[in-house]
Chain A
Amino acid sequence: MRDVAIVSVAQSRHRRAATELNEVEMIQPVIRQALDQIGASIADIGFTCSGSSDYLAGQAFSFVMTLDAVGAWPPIMESHVEMDGAWALYEAWLKIQTGAADTALVYSYSKASPGDLPRVMSRMLDPYYVGPLWPDSVAYAGLQARAMLDAGAITERQMAEVAHRNREAARSNPHAQVVGSASVDELLAAPMLSDPLRVHDCPPISDGGVAVVLAAGDRARAWVDRPAWIRGIDHRIDGHQIGARDLTTAPSVAIAAQHAGVEGTFDVAEVHAPFTHQEQLVLDGLGLDDGVQLNPSGGALAANPMMAAGLIRLGEVATRILDGSVGRGVAHATAGHLLQQNLVCVLEGGD
């Protein structure tokens, strides 16, 4: 296996609606920053991979337009996943493993603001049994929360505590959208949004994006003093029919964690849990020791740009390794509804 590291991370300041920007205008400065801060240009990049969704852009092959933000001339080698950017990073990591590239630019983005996101999200579901019912993504997530509440796997107070902790942590995150939280008691006094979920249990709707640069071996060392080495990365999926799943567990998190080499101690963990009740499911799957700093960024509850919030988790861990503030971290990204698909990445500083 080749040693591959994240050497640069940039992200937008996520917000509810970047009305005055199109996707290209929104992501171009982010890509530019990721390259500029290591003194790189697109000519130094061997492979480019993006993650985005046509359903959010409202246009087929929308990612092709967004290549304008990269500057794809002379022609570049590139690919795209209709998934969170964490999976675009996985593809880029594989590409570097094959030897077909030594460096990669990975970015992902979305503008959810033009549409009704909870409704658009239903188009991701099984088109025969589920799609024709147009279930909105909040009520859909509520099925998982209810299953956990009924099983005693979590309480409404614990869910409010997750919201409070993440959004308080976001006070130190310059990219966050929802910063600070009312007290847990005040949160619990709020009415239900979609029983059993209150507003605080749900992620914000965000426009935004993220870009990272990957490099192998000496190329990474030449760019930065302290590359964030990818020591393990794996992704797994649970069955797509939620009625045939035990919704109080997320087995694919545990399998991905095992294959990514999640063992020993970590300084920091960034987990991608858009709804409060999901954080516990991810942590159960990761099986981390106590003492790990959890979601210092505020996680997806503080900013949740679709297609980007997972890659941002990897970026948040890598940023802390690159700046020397932590030595070892684990990042988790999810895709689909109800933690259907999960990616786990172990990142480590050092030579």
Chain B
Amino acid sequence: MAADEMDGADSSELLRAPLVIEYPFNRTTGPVVGAFVTALRNRTVLGIRDTSGRVVCPPVEYDPRTGAPLEELVEVGDAGEITSWSWVPEVREGQPLQTPHALALIRLDGADTSLLHVVDAPGPDSVATGARVRIRWADEPTGAITDIECFELDGGAS
């Protein structure tokens, strides 16, 4: 295009290119994250005991308050309680459920902190803080947080 044609170019003449989001690297997961995702493959959830005795789930390598290295992995339950949630009306690519659902923090039985995941629910009116939820496992676990396909409301939608 000649330079004089650039003036007042309408939007159809603008150059466009796709924006692809990716992180094309592999990571090693280490002794704590690695143990957690390996346990998920066996349909078990692990937390870790911090220096004050709290069970942090999902587990962290270092104490959130003191920075001390943590080692004592402990098994927690596959059901728990919603501690906070929001509604996802418009599902985006890559999210665990492809229907509208709740994003939620869930404190699993035996844990003192909450895990982020999604809850399969028919609508926001059926979700509440304090509601009991249970893991629905993926059919073919791969050793990732998505081995938890989602959480289901205990006893079905209220």
Contact = CB atoms under 8 A, between A and B. Distances in A.
Interface in A104-121: 114-116, 118-120
Given A139-B103, A143-B86, A194-B89, A19 B116 contact: no
A199 to B, nearest CB: 12
B154 to A, nearest CB: 19
Interface string A135-152: 110111111111100100
Contacts of A147: 83-84
Given A127-B27, A129-B116, A136 B145 contact: no
A247 interface: yes
A194 to B, nearest CB: 6
B123 to A, nearest CB: 9
Contacts of A197: 86
B96 A133 contact: yes
Contact of B21 (A115, A128, A135): A115
Contact of A133 (B19, B114, B146): B146
A123 B115 contact: no
Interface residues of B, number: 45
A192 B17 CA distance: 33
Nearest to A56: B19
Residue with the highest number of chain A CB atoms closer than 10 Å, among B17, B20, B105, B107: B105
Contacts of A58: 17, 19-21
B14 A20 contact: yes
B144 A19 contact: no
Contacts of A129: 33, 36, 58, 115-116, 145
B23 A123 contact: yes
Given A132-B146, A139-B103, A192-B87, A116 B129 contact: no
B105 A242 contact: yes
Given A150-B84, A243-B114, A128 B37 contact: yes
Interface in B49-64: 56-58, 60, 64
A241 B103 contact: no
B31 interface: no
A194 B14 contact: no
A165 to B, nearest CB: 24
Interface string B1-36: 000000001010010010111010001010001001
A196 B94 CA distance: 23
A293 B57 CA distance: 42
B115 A128 contact: no
Contact of A195 (B37, B64, B124, B144): B124
Residue with the highest number of chain A CB atoms closer than 10 Å, among B86, B92, B114, B118: B86
B129 A150 contact: yes
Given A134-B95, A143-B103, A128 B29 contact: yes
Nearest to B32: A128
Given A142-B103, A194-B86, A244-B64, 7 more contacts: A128-B33, A128-B37, A132-B94, A133-B146, A143-B84, A243-B58, A243-B83
